[in-house]
Amino acid sequence: MDSEVARERALDAAERLFYGRGVQAVGMDDVRRTSGVSLKRLYQLFPAKEQLVVAYLDRRDARWRGELARYVDRHEGAGPRILAVFDWLGQWFAEPDFRGCAWLNVYGELGATSSRVAERVRAHKGAFRDFLDGLTADAQLPAAVGGQLFLLAEGAMVTAGVTGGTEPARQAREVARVLLGADGAGLPAPDAPAVSPPSATP
Amino acid sequence: MDSEVARERALDAAERLFYGRGVQAVGMDDVRRTSGVSLKRLYQLFPAKEQLVVAYLDRRDARWRGELARYVDRHEGAGPRILAVFDWLGQWFAEPDFRGCAWLNVYGELGATSSRVAERVRAHKGAFRDFLDGLTADAQLPAAVGGQLFLLAEGAMVTAGVTGGTEPARQAREVARVLLGADGAGLPAPDAPAVSPPSATP
DNA sequence: AGAAGCGGAGAACGTGCGTTCTCCGGCGTG
DNA sequence: CACGCCGGAGAACGCACGTTCTCCGCTTCT
């Protein structure tokens, strides 16, 4: 088996298991069983479990932000693009295996223990924050709105993770709409819960 | 030593350690060392670690919500009382040993493993949510605003926990002010970052 | 065909930790 | 004073898991 496909299989298994059950509840042996990659190979690719966790977070980060950006890009107009972020979150929350924000979960689990993991979480959240700041600037809204949208999105993720519904996305979207309107961004229609075909699995 | 004071000492130690380092990173022996309560006594009071965790969460829940309610009650007027929630959060975030929301942290750590713990987290968040709903009703705002304030507060807690500043509280307060104004609640002064002497240690 | 090395399976090792057990000193009662 | 019980200290046990080691079969090259 090619080293590259072994790596991918290992990461696939790690992601499914770590996200679904938590990092500490999953042993390296579980990853081996699920991935079919031998322990020896696993330790050649990732010399310690922490590195497997970091690699999992990194790969998921790239995919998560890529899919969000693609979804947002399908929308026209600065205001609707901001609202599309929350529509995308709603789709994510509705996925059957949704179990909250992977980064917040591992932060709760390892943030106090592993500085490397904590750093990745901060990097991911920082990148998401930057993304929202960009959308905010495009909409010619005050810079402060970027941070406000970020808080809304984080609150929605956390709440959806704990309570397990999709309403938090709608509630956050509603507040975002108020923030957009309150500062007079050019919004075509104040309602219309977004179009575009659903796909993607963040 | 009285059983009651042993229990309190155990919970004091458990809270400090669990909150500061995470539950899984703390052994029962650490609790014994820190509390001065012998292992035997510890297991008489809490037959398993999980029960100590639950007791820690319960006691902290009572104190946290009690202090929040007391702080809010010092304020006059439905609008200012809502804003006071975010001022209180800001004070909490500024405490030197603040390490995020205890419930979200344990949820990330044990939510997938321990249903008893997960249930306590949901109970705490539900109670907080109800509290905000009450304030929202008092202010004669639409019921939907309660959930929106909740999202803001959760987002602020999570963000303050990961990045470690107090700005999230101010940002969330600002959005709350917009929500209050947008629906014409009777707000005396739109600014003024709250009065009242700081105290309390949530 | 024979040799050599790569990789897989899984045993083995060490450690940490939740939980229980053992021993012992002190303190109150006949 | 003698006896017995309560509680503390910490050793002991069992298990889970991260990490490493051993053995063995297969493939590949000459």
Confidence of residue A199 (pLDDT cuts 50, 70, 90): very low
Q: Is the pLDDT of residue A182 over 70?
A: no
Cα distances (Å, whole numbers) of residue A83 to A71, A168, A179, B42, B176? 11, 13, 11, 52, 19
Per-residue pLDDT at B6: 87
Q: Report the distance separating Cα B188 and Cα B202, nearest Å.
A: 28
Confidence of residue A114 (pLDDT cuts 50, 70, 90): very high
What value does the mean pLDDT take over residues A7-23? 94
Q: Strand, coil or helix: what is B22?
A: coil
Cα distances (Å, whole numbers) of residue B124 to A108, B118, B119? 17, 10, 9
Per-residue pLDDT at B61: 97
**Nearest residue in chain B measured CA to CA from A104:** B108
What value does the mean pLDDT take over residues A93-100? 95
Candidates B162, B165, B187; CA nearest to B176 is B187
Confidence of residue A3 (pLDDT cuts 50, 70, 90): confident
Q: Is the pLDDT of residue B194 over 90?
A: no
Q: How far is A169 from chain B (nearest CA, A)?
A: 10
Per-residue pLDDT at A185: 44
What value does the mean pLDDT take over residues A140-165? 96
Q: Report the distance separating Cα B136 and Cα B148, nearest Å.
A: 10
Per-residue pLDDT at A122: 97
Of residues B184 and A67, the one with the higher pLDDT is A67
CB B84 within 8 A of CB B148: no
Confidence of residue B4 (pLDDT cuts 50, 70, 90): confident
Confidence of residue A131 (pLDDT cuts 50, 70, 90): very high
Q: Is the pLDDT of residue A176 over 70?
A: yes
CATH topology of domain B56-202: Tetracycline Repressor; domain 2 (1.10.357)
For the stretch B50-96, pLDDT in tens is 999 999 999 999 999 999 999 999 999 999 999 999 999 999 999 99
The boundaries of every CATH 1.10.357.10 domain in chain B are 56-202
**Nearest residue in chain A measured CA to CA from B118:** A162
What value does the mean pLDDT take over residues A47-61? 96
Listed range (A95-104, A175-184, B126-135) with the worst mean pLDDT: A175-184
| CB-based contact, A179 to chain B, within 8 Å | yes
CB B29 within 8 A of CB B56: no
Task: Tell me the percentage of chain A whose pLDDT exceeds 90.
Answer: 81
Per-residue pLDDT at A1: 59
Q: Is the pLDDT of residue B198 over 50?
A: no
Q: Is the pLDDT of residue A67 over 60?
A: yes
| CB-based contact, B29 to chain A, within 8 Å | no
3-state SS, one letter per residue, for chain A: CCHHHHHHHHHHHHHHHHHHHCCCCCCHHHHHHHHCCCHHHHHHHCCCHHHHHHHHHHHHHHHHHHHHHHHHHCCCCHHHHHHHHHHHHHHHHHCCCCCCCHHHHHHHHHCCCCHHHHHHHHHHHHHHHHHHHHHHHHCCCCCHHHHHHHHHHHHHHHHHHHHCCCHHHHHHHHHHHHHHHHCCCCCCCCCCCCCCCCCCCC
Q: Is the pLDDT of residue B195 over 80?
A: no
Find chain A residues with C-beta within 8 A of B109's C-beta: 22, 24, 108-109
- Contact residues, B window 152-171, toward A, CB-based 8 Å cutoff: 152-156, 158-159, 161-163, 167-168, 171
B112/A21 touch (CB, cutoff 8 Å), yes or no: yes
**N-terminal to C-terminal alpha carbon distance within chain B:** 28
Confidence of residue A173 (pLDDT cuts 50, 70, 90): very high
For the stretch B116-156, pLDDT in tens is 999 999 999 999 999 999 999 999 999 999 999 999 999 99
Per-residue pLDDT at B189: 41
Per-residue pLDDT at A189: 41
Q: How far is B44 from chain A (nearest CA, A)?
A: 27
Of residues B40 and B188, the one with the higher pLDDT is B40
Measure CA A166 to chain center. 15
Find chain A residues with C-beta within 8 A of B100's C-beta: 107-108, 111
Q: Tokens for A150?
A: 């970020």
What value does the mean pLDDT take over residues A162-169? 94
The boundaries of every CATH 1.10.10 domain in chain A are 1-47
For the stretch B154-166, pLDDT in tens is 999 999 999 989 9
For the stretch B26-46, pLDDT in tens is 999 999 999 989 899 999 999
CB A90 within 8 A of CB A79: no
A104/B99 touch (CB, cutoff 8 Å), yes or no: no
Confidence of residue B1 (pLDDT cuts 50, 70, 90): low
Q: Calculate ∠ Cα A196-A104-A171, nearest 5°.
A: 45
| pTM of this structure | 0.88
Measure CA B98 to chain center. 11
Give me the CATH code for the B1-47 domain, please: 1.10.10
Measure CA B173 to chain center. 17
Q: Tokens for B180?
A: 């209050």
Q: Report the distance separating Cα A182 and Cα A163, nearest Å.
A: 30
Q: Tokens for A178?
A: 């108020």
CB atoms within 10 A of CB B133: 16
Phi-psi region of B200 (alpha: psi -120 to 50; beta: other; left: phi over 0): left
